[in-house]
Amino acid sequence: MFTSNTIFDRIEIDSNGSISVRFLKQVSSSDNIISSEPHRVSFMLDENFATVIGTVSNHLEALGFTAIKAKDENKIKQYSELTKKLMSDQ
């Protein structure tokens, strides 16, 4: 039986203050990963975080993968909030 999962892989903060996030869309059978390909999203700090993440989750689900996990969404949100603070201090 095959399972399709979304894995939070990487977050990057660009010098212009945008956040780039990479997820891996993985298909596996038992403990074997059959395929793994990146799914990327970038957003600016002034964009509505919930809307961006919700849209990406919906897109991933439409592709047959799992939605972004709440714990991963929280991590991304924390990085976003920290970046906002750091950018405003400049």
Q: Along the 90 residues of the chain, how does pLDDT read in single tens digits? A: 899 999 999 999 888 888 999 999 999 998 899 999 999 999 998 899 999 999 999 999 999 999 999 999 999 999 999 888 888 866
User: What is the predicted pLDDT for the residue at 15?
Assistant: 82
**Residue 17, helix vs strand vs coil:** coil
Rounded to 10 degrees, the C-alpha dihedral 56/59/61/67 comes to 0
- Give the number of other CB atoms < 10 A from CB of residue 43: 19
The size of the chain, in residues, is: 90
User: What is the predicted pLDDT for the residue at 90?
Assistant: 63
**Rounded-to-integer distance, Cα 54 and Cα 82, Å:** 20
pTM (two decimals):
0.88
**Residue 49, helix vs strand vs coil:** helix
User: What is the predicted pLDDT for the residue at 31?
Assistant: 85
